[in-house]
Amino acid sequence: MPEIPELEHIARLLSDRLSGRPISNIDIQKPIVIRLPREDFEAGLLGAEFTSVERTGKFLLFHTNRDSVMAVNPMLTGRFQWTSGPHGKSKAHARTCFTLKFQNSEEDFGIRYIDERYLGKVYLVDADDLDRVPVLNEQGPDALDPSLDQEEFLKRLKRYRGQVKNALVNAKFIAGIGNAYSDEILFNAGIHPFTKISTLPDERRIELYEAIHETLNWAAEIAAREIDQQVDKKPRDFLNVHRKGGDPCPRCGSPISEVAPNRRVTSFCRTCQPS
């Protein structure tokens, strides 16, 4: 699942390369991901221009010059891919859901939305109606939103009594953190993922807040460098613990533990994250 570090860079890439170019063709191959009638999606975008692409939580919001927004929730396996250029793919992926072509000196210039499991959801709404988009209208503040300062974070955290990892991946608490980076955040904070929030003293809660920002900012720099211009790339090899079960912990050398309660893999170091 793409999370803040990847999506931050991908949003910038898409915005830089697509903005101001009219959409000249729309080819819908798998309409299941599009949450409105095909003809409305086509009519709403054909001839329109994206003015910017921004990230909020795990959503990508494509703003148009028609005061509308294409809101994309890629979920577990959704991603974009260039159709041409040095990082593009001339042959469409078997799981391509739709392709947008743009007026450009490159005849085939465009993007594809690909989804291996067809779990992603794509909406097209008026800019004033973003609150109609499911999940987006329920999520809490973005994890990197400046308004989510330490005081507000601690205030929101008091509402939760369950396990700390469950809170981090709950978009209603804060948005943009998923399974991979919750593992990294908790490793950097030295907190066991299954620790009950109610048992965390104030100083540990502050360390958790600081670890969120330190981890996401650290990872965003690396992800941007490794993705470069390849919007379909999701680098994760550089992570310290996530999906590194059995490998030595980069801090203490103990084997990294990996468990999968509720089919969600959780990776952590029992020595560095005792409680």
What type of residue is 255?
P
Q: Would you state the pLDDT for residue 37?
A: 97
SS3 content of the chain, % helix, strand, coil (to 5): 30, 25, 45
- C-alpha to C-alpha distance for 159 and 166, rounded to whole angstroms: 13
For residue 152, count CB atoms less than 10 angstroms from its CB and return exposed for 0-12, middle for 13-18, buried for 19 or more.
middle
Query: Among 92, 119, 78, which residue's Cα sits nearest to residue 27?
Result: 92
Write down the domain spans for the chain: 4-132, 150-268
pLDDT of residue 93: 84
- The pLDDT value recorded for residue 244 is 97
Q: Has domain 4-132 been given CATH number 3.20.190.10?
A: yes
What CATH fold (topology level) applies to the domain 150-268? Helicase, Ruva Protein; domain 3 (1.10.8)
Q: Which two tokens stand for residue 105?
A: 């000196």
Residues with pLDDT less than 70, the chain: 86-88, 90, 105-107
**Partner residues linked to 163 by β-bridges:** 196
Collapsing DSSP states into helix, strand and coil, what is residue 81?
A: strand
Q: How far apart are CA 110 and CA 112, in angstroms?
A: 7
Residue 84's pLDDT is 82
Give the tens place of pLDDT for each residue, 157-213: 999 989 999 999 999 999 999 999 999 999 999 999 999 999 999 999 999 999 999
Tokens representing 34 are 């599009």
% pLDDT > 70, the chain: 97
* Residue type present at position 114: I
Secondary structure of 157-173 in the HEC alphabet?
Answer: HCCCCCEHHHHHCCCCC
pTM > 0.85: yes
Burial of 155 per CB tally in 10 Å (0-12, 13-18, 19+): exposed
Mean pLDDT of the chain: 95
How far out from the chain centre does Cα 177 lie?
7
Dist CA 23 CA 21 (whole Å) = 6
